[in-house]
Amino acid sequence: PARPVYTGELPKGLQTISNIIAISSCKGGVGKSTIAVNLAYTLADMGARVGIFDADVYGPSLPTMVSPENRLLEMNPEKRTIIPTEYLGVKLVSFGFAGQGRAIMRGPMVSGVINQLLTTTEWGELDYLVIDMPPGTGDIQLTLCQVVPLTAAVIVTTPQKLAFIDVAKGVRMFSKLKVPCVAVVENMCHFDADGKRYYPFGRGSGSQVVQQFGIPHLFDLPIRPTLSASGDSGMPEVVADPQGEVAKTFQNIGVCV
Ligand code: ADP
């Protein structure tokens, strides 16, 4: 999709990035980080140059989900920039790689720290920067969206939480910023056992969302023990099983961003 109207001055650190994709959710624990990381590694597997920015200050999950050799971000003292760490060719920045001293911060401080970390990083030439947004649609999210010219947003939700009000909040925030919501991912939507498919959280609300909000794509991801285990082991599922069902879903998501 075309880059939306962006009136701010483009921060220098972001000038060499072609597409910035926000992965957003209205609540925590719905699988946003899992989807951000697997999407990033899928795009890399498709041949793109990719970075991940984990914008969650309070609960950064990137350090658990990937296993870079160097687990601390380096500084370039002359240029006063941050050098991302890297795992399997994907550049990574997270508060979890920033070392000790994470303090209790109020909202505006958090925004300042996130924006600084994002814009002073030497990302280099990237086709995609995937931003794992902090959950919710409050001030931290809004300022982050105003600092970076987002190309597209993907909203992650789970079937039981697929309340219109919640998804609508996300869609409204992005539409205010003229960022197209290209897809909704309905995570943990079903599981298969004894040759049968179960929908523990109900079904059918996804297609309503697509109709009501005019979002072009809806993707389902099943509950998969391997998806959770791979997240905990530091090896994304799409890397561990590049031919699997999950990897195919991520390839489809990758095509629409
Ligand atoms: P969020 O970023 O929204 O807080 P996470 O991606 O950290 O959510 O996921 C929360 C937990 O649920 C993690 O332990 C993760 O491995 C697990 N999880 C996410 N999606 C799935 C899935 N489809 N099947 C099984 N476990 C999942």
Which DSSP string do the residues of 20-74 spell out, in sequence order?
EEEEEESSTTSSHHHHHHHHHHHHHHTT--EEEEE--SSS--HHHH---S--S-E
Residue pair 185/217 in contact (Cβ under 8 Å)? The answer is: no
CA 188 – ligand 1 centroid, Å: 8
pLDDT at 212: 85
pLDDT at 146: 87
pLDDT at 163: 66
**Distance of alpha carbon 222 from alpha carbon 23, whole angstroms:** 18
Long-range CB contacts for residues 16-19, cutoff 8 Å, separation at least 24: 16/123, 16/124, 16/125, 16/126, 17/51, 17/123, 17/125, 17/126, 17/128, 17/129, 18/126, 18/127, 18/128, 18/151, 19/127, 19/128, 19/129, 19/151, 19/152, 19/257
Ligand 1 contact, 33 CB (< 6 A): yes
Q: Give the pair of three-digit tokens for residue 54.
A: 């984990």
Instruction: Give 135's DSSP letter.
Output: S
pLDDT at 205: 73
Residue pair 57/138 in contact (Cβ under 8 Å)? The answer is: no
Mutate-to-test residue for ligand 1 from 34, 188, 221, highest number of ligand atoms within 8 A of CB: 34
Closest atom of ligand 1 to CA, residue 224: 24
Break the chain down into helix, strand, coil percent, rounded to 5. 35, 25, 40
pLDDT at 1: 45
CA 161 – ligand 1 centroid, Å: 14
Mutate-to-test residue for ligand 1 from 26, 223, 228, highest number of ligand atoms within 8 A of CB: 228
pTM as predicted: 0.94
pLDDT at 100: 65
Nearest C-alpha to atom 9 of ligand 1 is from which residue?
A: 31
Lookup result for tokens 């795992």: 87
Ligand 1 contact, 189 CB (< 6 A): no
Instruction: Give the count of beta carbons closer than 10 Å to the beta carbon of residue 140.
Output: 23
pLDDT in tens, the chain (257 residues): 445 545 567 788 899 999 999 999 988 889 999 999 999 999 999 999 999 999 988 889 999 999 999 999 998 999 989 999 999 999 999 999 987 655 566 777 888 888 889 999 999 999 999 999 999 988 889 888 888 999 999 999 888 766 677 888 899 999 988 999 999 999 999 999 999 999 998 887 777 778 888 999 999 999 999 999 999 999 999 999 999 999 999 999 999 99
Q: How far is CA 177 from CA 53, 67, 117, 134, in A?
A: 20, 34, 22, 17
Closest atom of ligand 1 to CA, residue 228: 16
27: amino acid identity, one letter: K
Q: Give the pair of three-digit tokens for residue 190.
A: 């079903």
